Amino acid sequence: MKFLVDNWYLIVMALVSGGLLLWPRIRAGSGSGAVSTAEAVQLINRERAVLIDVSEAPDYAAGHAIGAKSVPLSGLEASTDLPKNKALPLVVVCATGSRASRAVGILHKLGFANARPLAGGLKAWREANLPVEKSA
């Protein structure tokens, strides 16, 4: 017991460093983790997931995944383009994936519990040689 009292700062440092090492695993297991491009394709093909692109209109027009619905992040909460069935899985995509993560949080608040961001965004989609189209 004397050791614990005399060396309390070592114990605190060990606990803090252990917590920092475990933090990425805890965060990844929260259920709203990003899906890879392969997982996204499986969700689309097997579970009829809907692909939602939250890029702004000019970025969407410059290039987006084929079949993706354009629902800009700025108008996400008021959008009528979202599926009526809130149980459908949604794969949310943007240019890099950062905007999609914020959109997933908003979608969860709107009742879409199965919304998940695409890891790496449209960049990863293109790198996986998946189809992209441009709008006029």
Q: Which residues of 57-67 are buried (b: 16+ CB within 10 A; e: fewer)?
A: eebbeebbbee
pLDDT in tens, 45-85: 999 999 999 999 999 999 999 999 999 999 999 888 999 99
CA separation for the pair 31, 113 (Å, rounded):
10
pLDDT in tens, 85-136: 999 999 999 988 889 999 999 999 999 999 999 999 999 999 999 999 998 6
CA separation for the pair 50, 5 (Å, rounded):
57
